[in-house]
Amino acid sequence: MKIGRIRLRNFRALYDVELKNIPPLAVFTGENGSGKSTLFQVFGFLKDALKNNVRVALQRMGGYREVATRGHTDEPIEVEIQFRMMLSDVNRLVTYYLAIATNESGVPVVQREILRYKRGGYGSSFHFLDFKNGEGYAISNEEDFNKPDKDLIRNYQSLDSPDVLAIKGLGQFQRFKAASAFRHLIENWHVSDFHIMAARQRVEAGVAEHLSETGDNLPLVAQHLHQNNRQTFNNILERFRERIPGMSQVTATATEDGHILLRFQDGSFKDPFIARYVSDGTIKMFAYLVLLHDPKPHPFLCIEGPENQLYPQLLGALVEELRDYATRGGQVFVSTHSPNVLNHVEIDEAFLLKKEQGITTIYPLADNQQIERFIEEGDKLGWLWNQGLLEI
Ligand SMILES: Nc1ncnc2c1ncn2[C@@H]1O[C@H](COP(=O)(O)OP(=O)(O)OP(=O)(O)O)[C@@H](O)[C@H]1O
Ligand SMILES: [Mg+2]
């Protein structure tokens, strides 16, 4: 499943943006305050809205009036995501549309929620799910999409509350195929909020297959890979040794009081260092390797500023790893302030955010012919940026 297009309206500085032809790896750059983090917040917001409801998710971001673009609080917040997925053996272009508005009492509700895709090669898309203010329907025999309209079964429902997403309940049922696939995508996307301090801690013994968003289960994931996927673990270790001078071994060890902690062996000394005493970049590089070599990649991964704390020479390999991850099936969004990251990014992968009069526009760099010409002549995006030539 791959996201091809995103349209956002009235979400903070993103008053009206559209990203089209989104590549497997998409890299966003732009000045401070240009809206990169805001773009990434949309994914966290949707995940929270699915887990809880739109009211709670907005509340956590300061409430509807804070999230809607300044001066536009009377307009709905809209999110539209288009993705490709297999439905009954046919590759379909599915669109999810969500509009949130406030009711008469000022409380946020789902004004409209739609899942649509074309049934044939032509014609307009058909609504397989359509809800307004907690009332609506979903087609329960989607696999029969070739049948005439009258044979499609509309399953009418009232949701528990108008602030709940219909895909939350319906997405649990396999027969609502598109809803269940989209729900699965949101639940499994990973919006990294990595904290070095969290990743340094020892953790209570347990099992974890995937790195958490903060990275606080790093010792458990390392232990899991070591025990169950030695090849992946060794691959991670090999790359880690190449990148961090002196490092020879990493072990996840159990303490007497039932915790697991990471130890890093520096070849120059007999005793290893526990995670708390190794450098920031050491922890971060190890965590990134664990995240990016996950045998089961997330369908969608967002990382802000992967360059922070890392030696510039390591960033090329990191971009390669992000791209590998994206081609293994997990689409990747990255934001960056680093020319060294951009130097390894293809022009089709790069997007520039610009904020003018408080409103963000996102420009694909590939649309700029001058930049394209520079790249054809052998220039790199980071060099152009350093020379002030990444202007749109
Ligand atoms: N409701 C709103 N309406 C309009 N603008 C808003 C709203 N809420 C926040 N903003 C502005 O949007 C800007 C975008 O910030 P964001 O954190 O996305 O920038 P960024 O590109 O991540 O910057 P940095 O590189 O510094 O991390 C903020 O500086 C803020 O002033
Ligand atoms: Mg930011």
pLDDT digit of tens for each residue in the chain (392 aa)? 799 999 999 999 999 999 999 999 999 999 999 999 999 999 999 999 999 999 999 999 999 999 999 999 999 999 999 999 887 788 889 999 999 999 999 999 999 999 998 876 666 788 999 999 999 999 988 777 777 778 888 999 999 999 999 999 887 777 888 899 899 999 999 999 999 999 999 999 999 999 999 999 999 999 999 999 999 999 999 999 999 999 999 999 999 999 999 999 998 999 999 998 899 999 999 999 999 999 999 999 999 999 999 999 999 999 999 999 999 989 999 999 999 999 999 999 999 999 999 999 999 999 999 999 999 999 999 999 999 888 77
Side chain identity, residue 198:
A
Evaluate: CB of 70 within 6 angstroms of ligand 1.
Answer: yes
Residue ending a domain, among 189, 210, 233, is 189
* Residue 34 Cβ contacting ligand 1 at under 6 Å: yes
CB of residue 13 inside a 6 A radius of ligand 1: yes
Show the CA angle centred on residue 130, arms to residues 126 and 136, nearest 5°. Answer: 135
Distance from residue 14's CA to the centre of ligand 1 (Å): 9
Is 239 within the bounds of a domain?
A: yes
Residues 88 and 233 occupy one common structural domain:
no
**Any ligand 1 atom below 6 A from CB of 12:** yes
Q: What is the CATH number of the domain that holds 166?
A: 3.40.50
pTM of the predicted structure, to 2 decimals: 0.95
**In angstroms, rounded to a whole number, what is the distance separating the alpha carbons of residues 279 and 311?**
12
- The answer to whether 4 touches 93, Cβ cutoff 8 Å, is yes
- 147 and 276 inside one domain: no
Expressed as residue numbers, the domain containing 176 is: 2-25+46-189
277 in a domain, yes or no?
yes
- For residues 179 and 273, membership in a common domain is answered with no
Q: Is 94 exposed, middle or buried (0-12, 13-18, 19+ CB in 10 A)?
A: buried
Residue nearest to atom 16 of ligand 1 (CA): 35
The answer on 180 and 195 residing in a single domain is no
Indicate which CATH number applies to the domain containing 335: 3.40.50.300
Same domain? For 13 and 107 the reply is yes
Q: Whose CA is nearest to atom 31 of ligand 1?
A: 33
- Residues 260 and 275 placed together within one structural domain of the fold: yes
Work out whether the CA dihedral 98, 54, 83, 23 comes out positive or negative: positive
In this structure, the answer to whether residues 185 and 67 fall within a common structural domain is yes
Count: domains in the chain: 2
Check if 47 has its Cβ closer than 6 Å to any atom of ligand 1: no
358 within domain boundaries:
no
The answer as to whether 381 is a domain residue is no
Same-domain status, 178 and 275: no
Kindly state whether residues 166 and 293 are assigned to the same domain: no
Contact in structure between 347 and 25 (CB atoms under 8 Å): no
Which of 189, 221, 248 is where one domain is finished?
189
261 and 146 in a common domain? no
Q: Is 371 in the pocket of ligand 1 (CB under 6 A)?
A: no
Report the residue among 27, 28, 32, 58 best suited for mutation to probe ligand 1: largest number of ligand atoms under 8 A from its CB.
32
Query: 170 and 198: one domain?
Result: no
Q: Tell me, yes or no, whether 265 lies in a domain.
A: yes
Residue 181 and residue 223 in one domain: no
CA distance 54 to 57: 5
